[in-house]
Amino acid sequence: MTTVELTRFRTPEARADALLAARPAMLRDFETDRTGFLGARLIRLGAEEWLDIVFWRSAEDFAESRRRGGDRPGIQAFFALIDQVVGVEEGTTTDPVEA
């Protein structure tokens, strides 16, 4: 099974384009610097609300990434555009991941 991180957050509509522009650099930082990172999907739920679905090899890999936070420039730039984190949840997949 794969660990799944579900982060719901709000970003003002005026920063949506900047958020999307910052996304590739954040993903590159995760790909090159986060052990166990398998991929991610960003879902727009409304004008200002988003859901980031991130796939991890294990719960330990996810926990280590959370501990490190925004310690890379691309991750920092993306996080800086988030106005409010609504919630973070963790689960596991029951199907193979195609991230």
Return the sign of the alpha-carbon dihedral for residues 29, 35, 38, 44: negative
Query: What is the Cα–Cα distance from 52 to 40, expressed in whole angstroms?
Result: 7
Strand partners, 91: 4
Mean pLDDT of the residues in the chain: 95
39 φ, ψ (degrees, to nearest 5): 150, 175
Q: CB-based contacts of 41: which residues, under 8 Å, 6+ apart?
A: 52, 53, 99
Looking at 3.40.718.10, 3.30.70.100, 1.10.760.10, 3.30.70.260, the CATH number of the domain 3-91 comes to: 3.30.70.100
Domain range annotation of the chain: 3-91
Under the banding of pLDDT at 50, 70 and 90, the label for residue 95 is confident
Nearest-angstrom CA–CA distance, 30 and 5 = 14
- Encode pLDDT of 67-94 as tens digits: 999 999 999 999 999 999 999 999 999 8
Flag whether pLDDT at 99 surpasses 60. Answer: no
